[in-house]
Amino acid sequence: MKIHDVTVPLSKELIVYPGDPHVKINRRTKANENDEKYNLSRYSFSSHAGTHVDPPFHLIENGLTVDKLPLELLMGRARVVEVTAPVINEAVLEEFDFTVDARVLFKTRNSYLWSQKTFVKEYVYITPGAARSLINDGIKVVGIDYLSVDKFDAEPETHMILLSADVIVIEGLDLREVAPGDYEMICLPLKVKDGDGAPARVVLRQS
């Protein structure tokens, strides 16, 4: 059994969506220094830093918060599909049959952007029409390999369409080492009370 960790590590060097706070990791005490007995750090980061989950409450006033998301949707069979087009639209989705899928993770050229030191605005995104198509196909979880499902600096229409339908969005995946196919996904966001989002550890298990 092979396990793929598709989580981007939280670090001070991690790129963030423009306008979001950067990740800060400050070592407060160091073991065996100044009579300290342990290492202790202070972490500071956005609720949407790195690999993270967007619950409906991210945009919907009375939507589910991250701590209330049903775990049965965040764990189970997930399909990784590879898209080479510069945008995921309805025409691209016509290449795939999602009738037996509930969770879809899009592998695009975005995954290779994680090696860049600065944010890249020209990433692959999901159009509003494609979001509606995914909902019509019964998809409950949508993942993508960069920091937003929406086009950069555009109105969050794709987010709104998905979250309004109680579709869970996972952003910031690193799928470079993952081949297209079916996997068992385990996605566990931090359990933040009333949270609008949270970083998550996401792994794909292949038997």
pLDDT tens-digit readout, 37-93: 889 999 999 999 999 999 999 999 999 999 999 999 999 999 999 999 999 999 999
**Domains along the chain?**
2-12+47-206 (3.50.30.50)
Measured in degrees and rounded to the nearest 5, phi and psi for residue 112 equal -80, -10
- pLDDT band of residue 207 (cuts 50, 70, 90) is confident
The pLDDT of 101-122, averaged and rounded, is 97
Say which amino acid occupies 150.
D
Residue tagged 């792994």 (tokens): 203
Alpha-carbon gap, residue 132 to 128, rounded angstroms: 6
Catalytic positions are 58
CA distances in angstroms from 26 to 40, 135, 174, 196, 204, listed in the order given? 9, 42, 25, 24, 31
Nearest CA among 144, 130, 54, 56 for reference residue 95: 130
pLDDT in tens, 162-178: 999 999 999 999 999 99
Phi (first) and psi of residue 137, to 5 degrees: -80, -5
197: tokens are: 């989002």
The amino acid at residue 61 is E
Judge whether residue 115 has pLDDT over 80.
Answer: yes
Q: What is the pTM of this model?
A: 0.96
Residue 187: CB partners within 8 Å, gap ≥ 6?
Answer: 53, 74, 75, 141, 170, 200, 201, 202
Q: Can you tell me the distance from the alpha carbon of 111 to that of 107, in angstroms, rounded to the nearest whole number?
A: 7
* Residue appearing with tokens 């359990």: 191
* Nearest of 74, 108, 80, 100 to residue 189 by alpha carbon: 74
